[in-house]
């Protein structure tokens, strides 16, 4: 009887009493839904495991899933609670990785993370786990004292892989002109259970035994690498054929003269093909410590006599490969046939027809297996001469099958098998408290040594992952010689024009480093010589330092608070830097260090600040050159939405987090008006100071002052000005609507415990009642009356709150603060829809007194619309100035050392000219008064 069938009814592991939790201590665990791969129908535990947990007082939550092969009614019958919300659980188990956005902070998770080799595709997940302080237990690293995995699907990977490759051989033989018994074996997932698959293999074996294999193809030989569970599972399937096992050195003879009424198999262990490079001897003890001293002769001693290779060995970069591309080229050379065959009985083109790489280790022991196949596209033909894969079973080459989730094809048996191996360790996993230091926990070596992350850091055993990542990134970055290398920190929507502009020069390479790897990858895919990498600058300062070292220039699109830290790394490595942010006090403190390092750090090179500076100084410098004095200066700038998109009470939409915009509403401001300093205190009166801006009457604009404008009298050299104001533009109604949030106390950055609890929702009505000191049980009429009074009896503000759903019982988004919750709410309500466009308006009015006594008012305007299918207006007006400045620094056009702002002609002259070439149309008009 088939061994795997017996395993299903084998021992049911039970932990000892000491391992169990006290039944009065109600532990909660959850089985999460598998939602990354559509073929993933497994679960980490079967209903009988859940029943035993439930009987011992453990509350088991199971996320509903119609895709799961074992119906949820069986889990319910076992005592599980089927529900979507699993945040109550302290332990969450799955099979494969969850999407980053579904990872719950400060929980213990157990799943296959595929991160231990620093796999690039999963580094985003790893960083998210670290950021959320998740304790990750990776099944792949749960091993016994001898290093063998104890919680795995390996046996079932071997079973499914072997069934698949027999099916594939049937297809390949047919293409080569032969109908064989293998044609009646299907893919593993096409069978209701493994018993049906076994019967199909047995039927195939019967036909082979009665001589129905075409004689012209010769005896079939199968080689199994490895002696672990994967190999054993595959052998369990071939054992259902009439098979004779031989030693590897006997394979040559049976491949030429063997019996056609059977197939032949050999199991390859290390001693059969590994030899020391120096003397051809195999020493198993030495190999364990120094595999790099050995090579494999598999390519010459076994592969030439193998019809199908089933590879199940783990590969490490230090270990020898089984097959290389050169070996494959030799192995697919045509065979010299010794007998005359007719057209209806063709000979095989070469002996090695197929490889089933169950290890699915790309670029591993099978060097030319560069990409895994999938369950829905299981086969390809590798053409070694062309070094390409054909998505077919036709063509010249070797049939490849390298599916990386094989057990998902037999999900019920795989779940039972895996659950039996995981179950004994569930009890100690339940005791894990991810909020505690790992040193305070008591785990068995099997669990402790499988913990990859805990308390926001890689555990000591896995710290090597970060070094592997950095090494791979470094090799990628430095691969091309003679390049000017730019490190772009941030992959937000304004980064596109920066990359586009810089990569026009084929000698420039841009590394996009972002905490959002997928976003960086999407950006990099659009442009040549662009490399995406994952970087969280807030927690990976060592990684940041390494990246800075390998580049000629750093561009920071991160929040201004990061810039001093980034600048210090640039100073240490003598690397230039460009940023669009204001020159903060913390940055100014670095002036002498920057000069001593002999580097240039360009600041305030965006739109506002940036283009506004350059237009101002171009006008002011020309006025001074003409012998004039500047009597007034007014500059207003706004990122708006195109008028046809202004369909909400704020007349505003967000393409990024509204947090900064909201916080600005309570900022202070200082400006000069007719020789008098006007101060607006912090706390919310800024919105009351807005005034109508009528220079473009059709736009119905309003403006309010921004920061301290008076400091620009010295920066611009216009101490003669009696009026000096810099401000923000919005469509009329914005300030009044924002004033409602201010008056209700929603611009609040203090921690808010009631909004932080993930399992309890708070409605807007409840939140506003708390802010106003009212009972949440107040009647709707009394509630609205109280709110109306709080916002100054202003109906427009009430209509705004009503339109935004903030007078209802709708839930407030979970957040650490009220302001953060409001920002999330507005981002969801007021985001740009597909096809909508934004608008930038910048207006400088400069009052110039001529020597003749005439007063000229110079009106300088920039109006830019976004492109629905291209860059937004904000992206163009921020990104292109940065890109231009970066290019000027790289090419030595900006040679000033130290902290630089674009207020000198050597910078603003070329920069403004190049902005015009990018389609930014600047209009300048004048009016004269006697």
Catalytic positions: 608
Which is nearest to 661 in space by CA: 670, 650, 648, 672?
650
Integer-rounded Cα Rg, in Å, for the chain is: 35
CB 589 within 8 A of CB 565: no
Distance CA 378, CA 545 (A): 43
Burial of 281 (0-12, 13-18, 19+ CB in 10 A): exposed
Helical segments of 431-539, H only: 445-448, 464-477, 495-502, 517-524
Which is nearest to 530 in space by CA: 549, 505, 512, 514?
512
Which is nearest to 39 in space by CA: 406, 380, 402?
406
Backbone dihedral angles phi then psi of residue 574, each to the nearest 5 degrees: 55, 50
Peptide bond into 609 cis (omega under 30): yes
Q: CB atoms < 10 A from the CB of 80, how many?
A: 23
Helix or strand or coil: residue 41?
coil
Distance CA 888, CA 484 (A): 12
Instruction: Determine the Cα angle at 920 with ends 915 and 925, to 5°.
Output: 110
Q: First CA to last CA across the chain, in angstroms?
A: 109
CA 798 centroid distance within chain? 41
Distance CA 769, CA 801 (A): 14
CB 819 within 8 A of CB 748: yes
CA 834 centroid distance within chain? 23
Say how many CA atoms lie within 13 Å of 163 toward its Cβ: 28
CB 860 within 8 A of CB 923: yes
745: Cβ contacts below 8 Å, ≥ 6 apart: 771, 818
Distance CA 840, CA 441 (A): 56
Q: CB atoms < 10 A from the CB of 111, how many?
A: 21
CB 226 within 8 A of CB 313: yes
Distance CA 527, CA 383 (A): 30
Which is nearest to 915 in space by CA: 858, 842, 846?
842
Distance CA 90, CA 85 (A): 13
CB 134 within 8 A of CB 106: yes
Which is nearest to 645 in space by CA: 825, 835, 471, 456?
835
Distance CA 307, CA 529 (A): 42
Instruction: Determine the Cα angle at 893 with ends 891 and 897, to 5°.
Output: 105
Residue with token string 């990386």: 404
Distance CA 677, CA 671 (A): 6
Q: CB atoms < 10 A from the CB of 178, how many?
A: 18
CA 144 centroid distance within chain? 33
Which is nearest to 112 in space by CA: 477, 422, 337, 420?
422
Helical segments of 744-871, H only: 753-756, 764-772, 780-790, 795-803, 818-829
573: Cβ contacts below 8 Å, ≥ 6 apart: 545, 548, 549
Stated as kind and residue range, the H or E segment containing 14 is none
């Amino acid at each position: 009887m088939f061994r795997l069938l017996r395993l299903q009814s084998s021992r049911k592991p039970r932990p000892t009493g000491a391992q169990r939790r006290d039944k009065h201590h109600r532990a909660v665990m959850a089985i999460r839904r598998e939602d990354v791969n559509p073929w993933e129908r497994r679960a980490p535990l079967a209903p009988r495991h859940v029943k035993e947990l439930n009987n011992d007082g453990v509350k088991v939550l199971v996320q509903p899933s119609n895709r799961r092969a074992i119906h949820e009614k069986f889990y319910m019958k076992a005592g599980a609670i089927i529900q979507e919300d699993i945040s109550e659980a302290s332990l969450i188990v799955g099979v494969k990785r969850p999407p980053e956005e579904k990872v719950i902070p400060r929980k213990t998770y157990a799943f296959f993370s595929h991160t231990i080799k620093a796999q690039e595709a999963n580094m985003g997940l790893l960083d998210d786990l670290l950021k959320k302080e998740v304790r990750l237990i990776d099944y792949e690293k749960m091993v016994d004292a001898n290093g063998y995995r104890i919680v795995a699907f390996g046996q079932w990977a071997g079973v499914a892989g072997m069934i698949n490759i027999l099916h594939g051989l049937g297809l390949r033989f047919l293409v080569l002109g032969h109908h064989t018994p293998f044609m009646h074996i299907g893919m593993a997932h096409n069978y209701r259970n493994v018993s049906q698959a076994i019967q199909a293999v047995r039927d195939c074996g019967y036909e082979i035994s009665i001589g129905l294999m075409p004689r012209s193809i010769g005896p079939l030989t199968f080689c199994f690498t490895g002696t672990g569970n994967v190999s054993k599972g595959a052998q369990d399937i071939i054992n259902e054929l009439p098979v004779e096992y031989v030693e590897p050195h006997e394979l040559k003879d049976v491949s030429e003269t063997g019996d056609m009424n059977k197939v032949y198999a050999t199991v390859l262990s290390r001693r059969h093909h590994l030899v020391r490079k120096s003397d051809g001897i195999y020493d198993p003890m030495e190999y364990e410590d120094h595999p790099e001293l050995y090579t494999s002769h598999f390519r010459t001693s076994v592969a030439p006599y193998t019809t199908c290779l089933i590879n199940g060995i783990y590969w490490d970069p230090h270990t020898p490969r089984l097959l290389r591309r050169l070996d494959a080229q030799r192995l697919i050379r045509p065979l010299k046939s010794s007998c005359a065959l007719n057209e209806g009985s063709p000979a095989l083109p070469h002996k090695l027809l197929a490889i089933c790489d169950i290890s699915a280790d790309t670029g591993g022991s099978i060097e030319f297996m560069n990409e895994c196949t999938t369950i829905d596209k299981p086969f390809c033909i590798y053409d070694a001469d062309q070094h390409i894969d054909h998505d077919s079973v036709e063509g010249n080459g070797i049939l490849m099958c390298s599916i990386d989730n094989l057990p998902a094809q037999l999900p019920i048996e795989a779940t039972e098998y895996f659950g039996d191996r995981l179950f004994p360790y569930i009890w100690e996993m339940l005791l894990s408290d991810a909020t505690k230091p790992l040193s305070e926990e008591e785990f068995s070596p099997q669990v402790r040594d499988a913990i990859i992350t805990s308390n926001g850091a890689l555990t000591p055993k896995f710290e090597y992952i970060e070094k592997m990542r950095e090494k791979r990134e470094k090799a990628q970055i430095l691969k091309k010689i003679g390049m000017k290398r730019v490190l772009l920190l941030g992959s937000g929507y304004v980064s596109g024009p920066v990359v586009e502009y810089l990569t026009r020069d084929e000698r420039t390479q841009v590394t996009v480093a972002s905490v959002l790897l997928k976003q960086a990858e999407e950006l990099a895919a659009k442009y040549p010589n662009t490399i995406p990498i994952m970087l969280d600058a807030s927690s990976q300062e060592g990684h940041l330092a390494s990246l800075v070292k390998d580049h000629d220039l750093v561009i920071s699109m991160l929040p201004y608070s990061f810039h001093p830290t980034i600048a210090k790394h640039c100073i240490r490595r003598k690397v230039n830097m460009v940023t669009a942010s204001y020159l903060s006090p913390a940055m100014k403190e670095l002036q002498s260090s920057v000069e001593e390092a002999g580097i240039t750090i360009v600041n305030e090179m965006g739109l506002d600040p940036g283009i506004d500076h350059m237009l101002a100084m171009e006008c002011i410098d020309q006025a001074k050159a003409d012998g004039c004095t500047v009597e007034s200066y007014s500059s207003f700038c706004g990122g708006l939405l195109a008028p046809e998109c202004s369909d909400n009470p704020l007349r505003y939409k967000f393409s990024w987090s509204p947090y900064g915009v909201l916080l600005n509403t309570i900022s202070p401001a200082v400006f000069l008006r007719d020789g008098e300093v006007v101060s607006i205190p912090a706390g919310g009166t800024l919105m009351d100071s807005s005034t109508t801006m009528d220079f473009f009457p059709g736009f119905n604009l309003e403006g309010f002052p921004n920061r301290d404008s008076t400091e620009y009298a010295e920066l611009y050299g216009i101490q003669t000005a009696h009026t000096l104001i810099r401000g923000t533009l919005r469509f009329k109604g914005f300030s009044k609507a924002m004033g409602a949030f201010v008056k209700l106390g929603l611009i609040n950055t203090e921690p808010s415990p009631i909004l932080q609890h993930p399992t309890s929702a708070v409605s807007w009505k409840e939140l506003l009642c708390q802010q106003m000191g009212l009972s949440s049980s107040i009647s709707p009429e009394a509630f609205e009356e109280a709110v109306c009074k709080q916002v100054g009896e202003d109906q427009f503000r009430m209509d705004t709150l009503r339109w935004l759903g903030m007078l209802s019982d709708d839930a407030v988004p979970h957040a650490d603060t009220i302001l953060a919750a409001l920002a999330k709410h507005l981002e969801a309500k007021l985001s740009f829809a597909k096809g909508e466009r934004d608008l930038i308006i910048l207006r400088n009015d400069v009052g110039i007194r001529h020597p003749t006594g005439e007063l000229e008012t110079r009106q300088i305007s920039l109006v830019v619309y976004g492109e629905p299918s291209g860059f937004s207006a904000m992206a163009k007006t921020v990104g292109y100035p940065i890109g231009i400045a970066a290019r000027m620094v790289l090419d030595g056009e900006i040679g000033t050392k130290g902290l630089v702002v674009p207020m000198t002609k050597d910078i603003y002259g070329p920069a403004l000219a190049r902005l015009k070439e990018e389609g930014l149309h600047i209009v300048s008009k004048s009016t004269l008064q006697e």
